[in-house]
Amino acid sequence: MWRGMDRPARLDAPGRPWLTRVAALFAAAGLAFLTHGAAATEPQKFAAAVTAVAPTANSALAGVALDPAWPKHVFVIADSVMLGAKPNLIKRLSDWQVTFAARPALMISKAVEELRQQSGPLGSVAVVALGYNSLWQKNRQNFQRWSDNFDKSVEDMLAVLKARGVRKVVWVLLRELTPELVPSNGVATMQFEKYAWYFPYANERLRAIKARHPEMALADWTTAARQAGVTYDAIHVNTRGAELMVEVVRRRSASMLRRPPRRAPSRLRLPSQRVRRRRFRSRQPSRSSWSSCKPR
């Protein structure tokens, strides 16, 4: 009944080393995410998923536009889900200052408490990937009570981010699971059975809060992750999933994570063309009479 009270995705049980707790609850597969061959054989499916999360796909999730004049500093606060995409995000933000505050089992209310104890500007943009560690009752029992608690924690987060100089907030929606999306390992099955039922509850409330805060953007990880092969358990991203998650954030953040422009292909000059040009130039006036031209 009180499944949400069982510390969903929490790794801070007393008396157990941190790494042991991680292994016991979420990472029993170790580094198995590096060996997912299925992802490497589906580049077309990956490209289709990237296209599906383009900003034009759901403009209702967009927030305030990014101002190029803002300081290029992004603050990321997350739990263990987006923590797996940290190297990818930092790589894609090579021209931004990135502050990454993330750890397993981080609840929204706890993150707010810790941010209030600190001072100083956080950055012009904040990416928030929290919500997996939240409290609910199954079958929507006392849903209003738990919704109010969740909403308050999100509202508090938005307020503290604004107070510390954040001008644009991108909140990453949770993955919603169906049996065919869950890898065939014990950890993933446990997570699906024990926690997945309330992930839609959290997304429902985030969308409702978005309606009250049009300035907040929602990064639609729910839609993008509606495919197998992006996680090594039920929710934690593998290499392919990390790339896709960063792309979701990039597209919702518009120019903040814009890809570098492609270089134009170089032109190949055939030997016969070089000969013709030499012959042509030999009949042109001297270089001194072409003072207004510059060699390329």
Angle at 97 between CA 207 and CA 74, to 5 degrees: 10
Question: In angstroms, rounded to a whole number, what is the distance separating the alpha carbons of residues 93 and 96?
Answer: 5
CB 147 within 8 A of CB 98: no
pLDDT in tens, the chain (296 residues): 333 433 444 433 333 333 333 333 333 333 333 333 344 455 566 556 555 554 444 666 777 888 889 999 999 999 999 999 999 999 998 889 999 999 999 999 999 999 999 999 999 999 999 999 999 999 999 999 999 999 999 999 999 999 999 999 999 999 999 999 999 999 999 999 999 999 999 999 999 999 999 889 999 999 999 999 999 999 999 999 999 999 999 887 764 544 444 444 444 343 444 434 444 343 443 333 333 333 33
Q: What is the CATH number of the domain that holds 205?
A: 3.40.50.1110
Backbone angles phi, psi at 176, to 5 degrees: -110, 130
User: Is residue 277 one of the residues assigned to a domain?
Assistant: no
- Global pTM? 0.71
User: Is residue 112 one of the residues assigned to a domain?
Assistant: yes
Give pLDDT, residue 44: 60
User: Is residue 273 one of the residues assigned to a domain?
Assistant: no
Find the Cα–Cα–Cα–Cα dihedral 10, 12, 13, 16, rounded to 10°: 130
Give pLDDT, residue 215: 85
User: Is residue 142 one of the residues assigned to a domain?
Assistant: yes
Question: In angstroms, rounded to a whole number, what is the distance separating the alpha carbons of residues 59 and 54?
Answer: 9
* Count of domains forming the chain: 1
Residue-range definition of the domain harbouring residue 181? 3-255
Site of tokens 């100083």? 120
Give pLDDT, residue 256: 56
Site of tokens 């070089």? 274
User: Is residue 275 one of the residues assigned to a domain?
Assistant: no
Exposed, middle or buried: residue 103 (CB in 10 Å: 0-12, 13-18, 19+)? middle
User: Is residue 251 one of the residues assigned to a domain?
Assistant: yes
Element (H, E) at 248: helix 239-252
Distance of alpha carbon 288 from its chain centroid, rounded? 58
User: Is residue 209 one of the residues assigned to a domain?
Assistant: yes
User: Is residue 231 one of the residues assigned to a domain?
Assistant: yes
Element (H, E) at 114: helix 108-116
Residue type, 35: T
Q: Nearest CA to 201 among 154, 248, 140, 276?
A: 140
